[in-house]
Structure 1
Amino acid sequence: MPKKAALDTKIYVLDTNILLHEPLAFLSFKENDVVVPMTVLEELDYIKDSKKDVARDARISIRAMEDLLHDATPEQMVEGVTMRGLGAGDTAPTGNLSIFVDHGLPVDKHVFTSNENDNRIINSALHLQTQFAPRQVVLVTKDINMRLKAKGAGLALVEDYRTDQMVSDIKFLSKGYHKFSGEFWSQVKSVDSRTEGRDTIHTIERKVLPDAYINEYLIDEDGKFAGIVESISENHLEVLDLGFERLMGRRAWGITPKNIAQAMSLHSLLDPHIDLVILTGPAGSGKTLLALAAALEMVVEKNMYDKIIVTRSTPEIAESIGFLPGTEEEKMAPWLAAITDSLEVLHKHDENVKGSMSYIMEKANIQFKSVNFMRGRSIQNAIVILDESQNLTASQLKTIITRCGEGTKLICSGNLAQIDSNYLSAVTSGLTYLVEKFKNFSGSATINLDGVVRSRLAEFAEEQL
């Protein structure tokens, strides 16, 4: 380890799950030094050859560290190799990266009852804390139990990795709309309205809603006003008047909204100028049904797009998909039952439901694709429905979004209360990251559907369980 005289920089010891969550995380600690214990490298080595969905992240992290350390001597790797020059801006790293050989360290039998990997990583941090006192040593891990064990073992500083977290709690996550208490117009002191064709646009003072962002919906408790922020200047907001009743009267493929959140979602889904629609909310709020109904309306009825591509994250898909019979689409069918269920609901009154579904799937050119095979594609003039996106990381979502070519609309839906991945939480999910990052992008809209409309049973379960 580099023996720096300055005590204002820290030594960060990284756990394996940090590098699986964000492969280049070791570059995120600015002027501080980063230590990767040998046990972490061994765990990465084991995971990179596994069939787990994080194997790719393990390989990326290993390659990135090898690129930095490949010319270093064994002594330099232990002492530390500078990361200066690997980034730009204020967040560029200037500290050192070193590998710490932790296998020879004696493990205190009074503290740890076994020599398992987590204990060895904690033991490394304890050793460095003693060796470099009074310089601060921080263990960074996403494992809550490991943080408790480290504190109990005597490690002064233990942290979660928060560099990539856009919000500290999902209660602060953007909902995509702002509800005014009382009547909207009673809170507007001055307004300048104009008509453009069939549209009415109101110019109001920005102080009415200082934190407004593009494509944020504005509604009031009285159910008399509904609008959307079209543009923002230093002192003013331009709000397109949607009309509460007109918004609630929107239809797509025979579906009408059951509440104002669904109405706002349908408006964004049917708007050809919005390229990305993000739908969040609890199970049964209508995310998948609305997305599919809008997609069918725009592909079959209006001929605005050529096809519908449906994909989703599937836990342990690398292990399980190969054992299922049939083509890629047939293999994906069990994972995408939510889509076929929604399609069945949309045609439940037809004389021959199965025949209608087969006809529509062919007419709309609905394709079921695995997220694993989206990489490298370029999707043109299509609607992509990404279901269950709460289980994806930010980098995985970036891979999918960057596949979308000219004329393609992406619909991401997910429930942050139902994350299946062992490496993600509600605040670190790629869906949370996406909502906050695209908040100010004029080509995207976010709606949080907060009402369960599936059934009174589902509504009660969502509220009480």
Structure 2
Amino acid sequence: MSESGPKYYILDTNILLHEPLAFLNFQEHNVVIPMVVLEELDHIKDRQKDVSRDARVAIRALEEALHEATPEQIISGVPLTRITGEHQAEGHISIFPDYQLRQTESALSLNENDHRIIQTALQLQIDRAPSKVVLVTKDINMRLKAKGAGVKCVEDYRTDQLIDDIRLLAKGFYTFEGNFWDAVGEVKTEQDGRDTYHFISRELFPSLYPNEYLLDETETFAARVESFTDTHVKILDIGRERLMSTRAWGITPKNIYQAMGMHALLDPTQDLVILTGPAGCGKTLLALATALEQVVEKGLYEKIIVTRNTPEIAESIGYLPGTEEEKMAPWLAAITDSLEVLHKQDENMESSMNYIMNKANIQFKSLNFMRGRSIQNAVVLLDEAQNLTASQLKTIVTRCGAGTKIICSGNLAQIDSYYLTAVTSGLTYIVERFKNYHGSSTMNLNGVVRSSLAQYAEENL
């Protein structure tokens, strides 16, 4: 196959549901939509689910690209440059009439939609040779079947994949070898109330992000990057002892990672805080404790909105009885569990929890009804964010209005979605996209503090 010249990208239905305008992201290359993909979009567009909106957007966009073309042009290819708006697409888009494919003894059964798409790729490999033909799908099993059937190039959709290895994901902190101050030469220091700031040469920092925490191998140094120029970095000298003494709603950190996370969570200048880490590292507990501290004790916000995605184990949350909050209760048990931990020493735990639920105005909301809302003066706790796509996370973050802080937490080792992996998860996407934003912080909470059993299970299972 020829590596030079335009390629032919065949899109699976899940690509257009993941990003309805995905066919505009292949630059000078050609995009092929099998007819069966249009049939699947047609079946999905009327479903009473959030994904139906994406199907309708994709259909309208395809209609804009093809509405003036003749049947012959639609099959041979229509220039994508005719679509208005900001995009870099310079190739052609075409519809492949896969219903014309004939069943052969060696071919996959054409009774299944996935097989018709794979057969389209196989046919185009013959028709378009020596040009490169690539099948693009987020379905892992379909990628395996396509390779087994003879499709030479099969890929995941990588436009929103920002890193190739999860080990490269920003952690929110950097640890220097040895003693940090031994490597520092001339230092300019400023005092602002109880805060001490140092101006240090940028040459000491291999990589640099706003609000990144700095540690060394001693038990005393801890700092945070406040700002930087081409020559100098301004850091806030916090100190480990001060970090470890952070307190919120009666709890204190059990390790330095929780301490840095709590420091970011309690900072009113941080509108977005992202917590990652293994099960049992304290993500939900820290988020809830710091939210209660800022709503009830400090009065910085008016309410707490708790939400997470609801995996479609059954149909939807509609099969559960009760109000929206009562329907969401099974999926948000982690929040009520954390509330019990925070109030287990009270004389009447149930009364305390009911009082705090009302005092902090804690509301359980479903992601299905977040689109179109504008959330003001609230702390939004988004739990299990690893199961969301980049577009879903964008929908949620853009709901946050003035005076709202959003806390996203998740464990990239516990992804339940059929089409997401650790590198394509929306949680990974948002960490990478916001690592250079001065109003956000990321913290990877290393270490399991739930129990020795949980820690052993995380490390050995």
TM-based fold match above 0.5: yes
Q: Partner of 2:399 in structure 1?
A: 403
Structure 1 pair 87–273 and aligned structure 2 pair: CA distance change class (3 A): farther
Q: Which of residues 20, 27, 30 is equivalent to 2:27? A: 30
Pairwise mapping of residues 54-65 of structure 1 onto structure 2 (< 5 A)?
A: 54-65=51-62
Bigger mean CA deviation after superposition, 20-29 or 69-78? 69-78
Amino acid at match of 1:94: E
Of all paired residues, the percent bearing the same amino acid is 67
Q: In the TM superposition, what whole-angstrom CA distance separates every residue of 1:10-63 from its partner, at most 9, and x where no partner exists?
A: 111111222222221111100011000011112222233345553332222222
Q: Partner of 2:207 in structure 1?
A: 211
SS in 2 for 1:319: coil
1:67 aligns with 2:61: no
Q: Partner of 1:418 in structure 2?
A: 414
1:80 aligns with 2:80: no
Q: Which of residues 317, 320, 331 is equivalent to 1:321? A: 317
Bigger mean CA deviation after superposition, 128-137 or 454-463? 128-137
Q: Partner of 2:136 in structure 1?
A: 140
| Contact 2:65 2:82 (8 Å CA) reproduced | no
Q: Partner of 1:96 in structure 2?
A: 92
TM-score (norm 2): 0.96
SS in 1 for 2:344: coil
Q: In the TM superposition, what whole-angstrom CA distance separates every residue of 1:137-157 from its partner, at most 9, and x where no partner exists?
A: 111122333333333333332
SS in 1 for 2:134: strand
Quote the Cα distance in structure 2 between the aligned partners of 1:317 and 1:375: 22
| Contact 2:302 2:378 (8 Å CA) reproduced | yes
Amino acid at match of 2:248: A
Quote the Cα distance in structure 2 between the aligned partners of 1:153 and 1:329: 47
1:348 aligns with 2:344: yes
Quote the Cα distance in structure 2 between the aligned partners of 1:114 and 1:376: 41
- Runs of at least 4 residues of structure 1 off by over 6 A? none
Q: In the TM superposition, what whole-angstrom CA distance separates every residue of 1:386-432 from its partner, at most 9, and x where no partner exists?
A: 11111111111111111111111111111111111112111111111
SS in 1 for 2:233: strand
Q: Partner of 1:125 in structure 2?
A: 121
Pairwise mapping of residues 35-54 of structure 1 onto structure 2 (< 5 A)?
A: 35-51=32-48, 54=51
Residue 275 of structure 1 and its aligned partner are, at CA, apart by 0.5
| Contact 1:277 1:410 (8 Å CA) reproduced | yes
Residue 115 of structure 1 and its aligned partner are, at CA, apart by 3.8
SS in 1 for 2:197: strand
Q: In the TM superposition, what whole-angstrom CA distance separates every residue of 1:102-129 from its partner, at most 9, and x where no partner exists?
A: 1111233224356422222121112112
Q: Partner of 2:196 in structure 1?
A: 200
Q: Partner of 1:10 in structure 2?
A: 7
Q: Partner of 2:383 in structure 1?
A: 387
Quote the Cα distance in structure 2 between the aligned partners of 1:214 and 1:85: 41
1:190 aligns with 2:186: yes
Q: Partner of 2:220 in structure 1?
A: 224
Q: CA RMSD in A?
A: 1.9
Residue 185 of structure 1 and its aligned partner are, at CA, apart by 1.2
SS in 2 for 1:84: helix
Matched residues, number: 460
Unmatched 5+ stretches in structure 2: none
| Contact 2:108 2:119 (8 Å CA) reproduced | no
Structure 1 pair 29–87 and aligned structure 2 pair: CA distance change class (3 A): farther
| Contact 2:139 2:418 (8 Å CA) reproduced | no
1:19 aligns with 2:16: yes
Quote the Cα distance in structure 2 between the aligned partners of 1:86 and 1:67: 7
Structure 1 pair 318–377 and aligned structure 2 pair: CA distance change class (3 A): farther
Q: Which of residues 170, 177, 189 is equivalent to 1:174? A: 170
Quote the Cα distance in structure 1 between the aligned partners of 2:198 and 2:371: 43
| Contact 1:27 1:92 (8 Å CA) reproduced | yes
Q: Partner of 1:303 in structure 2?
A: 299
Quote the Cα distance in structure 2 between the aligned partners of 1:256 and 1:218: 20
| Contact 1:35 1:100 (8 Å CA) reproduced | yes
Quote the Cα distance in structure 2 between the aligned partners of 1:369 and 1:152: 43
SS in 2 for 1:310: strand
Amino acid at match of 1:40: V
Quote the Cα distance in structure 1 between the aligned partners of 2:3 and 2:315: 49
| Contact 2:221 2:239 (8 Å CA) reproduced | yes
Residue 286 of structure 1 and its aligned partner are, at CA, apart by 0.4
Q: Partner of 1:149 in structure 2?
A: 145
Q: Which of residues 101, 105, 124 is equivalent to 1:105? A: 101
